[in-house]
Amino acid sequence: MRTPRLEIDLDKIYFNTQTLVKRLAARGISVMGVTKAVLGAPEIASVLLKAGVSSLGDSRVENIKTLSRAKLDAQKILIRTPMLSQVDEVVANADISFNTEIEVINALSAASLRVDKTHGIVLVIELGDLREGIMPNDLGSILTKIRRCKNITIQGIATNLACLSGVAPDATNMAELSQLANSVEATLGSRLRIVSGGNSANLQWALGGANIGRINNLRLGESLLLGRETLHRKAITGLHIDAFTLIAEVIESKTKPSQPWGVIAQTAFGEKPPSTSAGHQSQALIAIGRQDVDHSGLYPPPGIEILGASSDHLLVDSGDSSLAVGDKVKFNVNYSALVRAMTSPFVHKVMKQKSTPIDKPSLSIK
Ligand SMILES: *Cc1c(COP(=O)(O)O)cnc(C)c1O
């Protein structure tokens, strides 16, 4: 098998998803499976659907197209507001898109009219994390304008917290979203299908016994794939945190002085060189780099310590584990390392299900 490779255990993803879908269903909350970290990989999307997610969400229209081409029987939702330059592609491939700007909604309306389709929108509301969203006070005026847009239907409202500012979903901001759902419905005179409270950072709130109010959906990515909640990155009890493992190969192994010599300026990435102790160390060079992975999000096996990385090389102190040229080293990954490894065409993706490997050497990137 080729290296470097990301081994993807589809059974573990299935188990994580089914577990969270069931726990949330007991609270009246459906799950939108978010596939952006895996570039909309149809094999993974189909596992999420089998495990019970009610729809698929992705932030990139390219990934939504990948899902479209796979002809999965699922509602597809673009969860980032569309670029004006992409509205035709959005209408052609997504059933619903998340929106915050009237210009974009007008353009989606025009694009939908051109192809005689109806496009659904979810209005994203800013509740303090200061990434995307309509300010609650501006909701009334944007609703008036949207009601004039032909071929656009308002499917729901949503908010997104814990991303840019780390604002935690709690009883206060979730109650505000519920109350806004009521007031939007009063204005429209119809019921909203979706009231989406947030992402994997909402799990503690949703499963903690709080009053969930009008919230009937969460959009989950990281918790399904890596088994962690994202407020404190704690493993969720009972879930697998190792559905993805990265395997890379040693190309040099030597004992070298632990201190560099010569005049010290800056490194390839403009950082200060790592500070190391005196003496010698067993160091191994592994053929994977920053172009392929965020090395700060790699968890090496016990006894091995990551010293640094450049574009194409990862340097580790192999301690007493004496790595030899040709050895394969297995790492666990965090979300950041996962996203970059999925996106690198140099990292092969190997899907495994019920001990039968489904080799997908090139998940093509469009
Ligand atoms: C990425 C994303 C999600 C999923 O977040 P996770 O932390 O992976 O669960 C949900 N909503 C939006 C808008 C996103 O961009």
Residue with tokens 């007008």: 106
Q: How far apart are CA 332 and CA 24, in angstroms?
A: 27
Ligand 1, CB cutoff 6 Å, lining residues: 34, 36, 59, 79, 160, 199-200, 219-223, 230
Radius of gyration of the chain (CA): 23
Q: How far apart are CA 31 and CA 77, in angstroms?
A: 12
Comparing 272 with 204, which gets the higher pLDDT?
A: 204
Which are the contacts of 102, defined by CB distance < 8 A and separation ≥ 6?
142, 145, 146
**Is residue 36 among the annotated active site residues?**
yes
What distance in angstroms lies between residue 160's CA and the mean position of ligand 1's atoms? 8
Q: Reduce the DSSP state of residue 7 to 3 states and report it.
A: strand
> Could you report the per-residue pLDDT of 56-86, keeping only the tens digit for each?
999 999 999 999 999 999 999 999 999 999 9
Mean pLDDT along residues 216-236: 97
- Is residue 129 a part of any domain in this protein? yes
Give Cα 345 distance to the centre of its chain: 18
| Domain stop point among 226, 254, 284 | 226
**Residue 21 zone, left/alpha/beta (φ > 0; ψ -120 to 50; rest):** alpha
How many other C-beta atoms can be found within 10 angstroms of the C-beta atom of residue 41? Answer: 21
- Is residue 288 a part of any domain in this protein? yes
pLDDT at 356 (0 to 100): 56
pLDDT at 14 over 90: yes
pLDDT at 251 over 80: yes
Range scoring the smallest mean pLDDT among 184-188, 271-275, 292-296? 271-275
pLDDT band at 365 (very low <50, low <70, confident <90, very high): very low
Q: Which of 29, 44, 160, 244 to mutate to test the pocket of ligand 1 (most atoms within 8 A of CB)?
A: 160
As for how many domains the chain has, the answer is 2
Mean pLDDT along residues 257-283: 86
| Domain stop point among 226, 256, 287 | 226
Same domain, 215 and 250: no
Same domain, 77 and 159: yes
Q: How far apart are CA 297 and CA 140, in angstroms?
A: 43
- Is residue 255 a part of any domain in this protein? yes
pLDDT at 364 over 50: no
Q: Are 23 and 30 in contact (CB under 8 A)?
A: no
> Could you report the per-residue pLDDT of 320-347, keeping only the tens digit for each?
888 999 999 999 999 999 999 999 999 9
pLDDT band at 277 (very low <50, low <70, confident <90, very high): confident
- Is residue 233 a part of any domain in this protein? no
Q: Which atom of ligand 1 is nearest to the CA of 201?
A: 7
Residue range(s) defining the domain that contains residue 346: 244-358
CATH number at residue 143: 3.20.20.10
Element of type H or E holding 281: strand 280-286
CA distances from 259 to 200, 254, 255, 262, 266 (A): 42, 14, 12, 10, 15
Q: How far apart are CA 255 and CA 318, in angstroms?
A: 10
pLDDT at 357 (0 to 100): 58
pLDDT at 271 (0 to 100): 84
Same domain, 269 and 197: no
Would you say how long the chain is, in residues?
Answer: 366
- Is residue 232 a part of any domain in this protein? no
Mean pLDDT along residues 207-215: 95
pLDDT at 169 (0 to 100): 97
Same domain, 309 and 184: no
Same domain, 138 and 249: no
Q: Which of 32, 63, 163 to mutate to test the pocket of ligand 1 (most atoms within 8 A of CB)?
A: 163
Cis (ω within 30 of 0) for the bond into 274?
A: no
What distance in angstroms lies between residue 280's CA and the mean position of ligand 1's atoms? 44
What distance in angstroms lies between residue 133's CA and the mean position of ligand 1's atoms? 14
Same domain, 214 and 273: no
Q: Are 149 and 116 in contact (CB under 8 A)?
A: no
What's the count of helices (H) and strands (E) in the chain, helices before strands?
10, 17
What distance in angstroms lies between residue 220's CA and the mean position of ligand 1's atoms? 6
For strands 119-124 and 96-99, give the pairing: parallel
> Could you report the per-residue pLDDT of 27-50, keeping only the tens digit for each?
999 999 999 999 999 999 999 999
Q: Which of 38, 39, 59 to mutate to test the pocket of ligand 1 (most atoms within 8 A of CB)?
A: 59
> Could you report the per-residue pLDDT of 150-202, keeping only the tens digit for each?
999 999 999 999 999 999 999 999 999 999 999 999 999 999 999 999 999 99
Mean pLDDT along residues 289-303: 97
Q: Are 36 and 222 in contact (CB under 8 A)?
A: no
pLDDT at 273 over 90: no
Token pair in block for residue 235: 């493993």
Q: Which atom of ligand 1 is nearest to the CA of 34?
A: 4
Mean pLDDT along residues 298-306: 96
What distance in angstroms lies between residue 77's CA and the mean position of ligand 1's atoms? 12
What distance in angstroms lies between residue 34's CA and the mean position of ligand 1's atoms? 7
Q: Which atom of ligand 1 is nearest to the CA of 335?
A: 8
pLDDT at 355 (0 to 100): 58
Nearest CA to ligand 1 atom 6: 221
Mean pLDDT along residues 136-154: 98
Nearest CA to ligand 1 atom 13: 79
CA distances from 48 to 18, 35, 142, 228, 265 (A): 8, 9, 34, 16, 49
Nearest CA to ligand 1 atom 14: 79
Reported pTM = 0.95
Q: Which atom of ligand 1 is nearest to the CA of 225?
A: 8
When the pLDDT of each residue in the chain is averaged and rounded to a whole number, the result is 95
pLDDT at 361 over 90: no
CB-side neighbour CA atoms (13 Å) of 158: 32
Catalytic residue selected from 12, 22, 36, 330: 36
Q: Reduce the DSSP state of residue 273 to 3 states and report it.
A: coil
Token pair in block for residue 58: 């992705």
Same domain, 180 and 213: yes
- Is residue 192 a part of any domain in this protein? yes
Share of the chain above pLDDT 90, in %: 90
pLDDT at 363 over 70: no
Give Cα 307 distance to the centre of its chain: 27
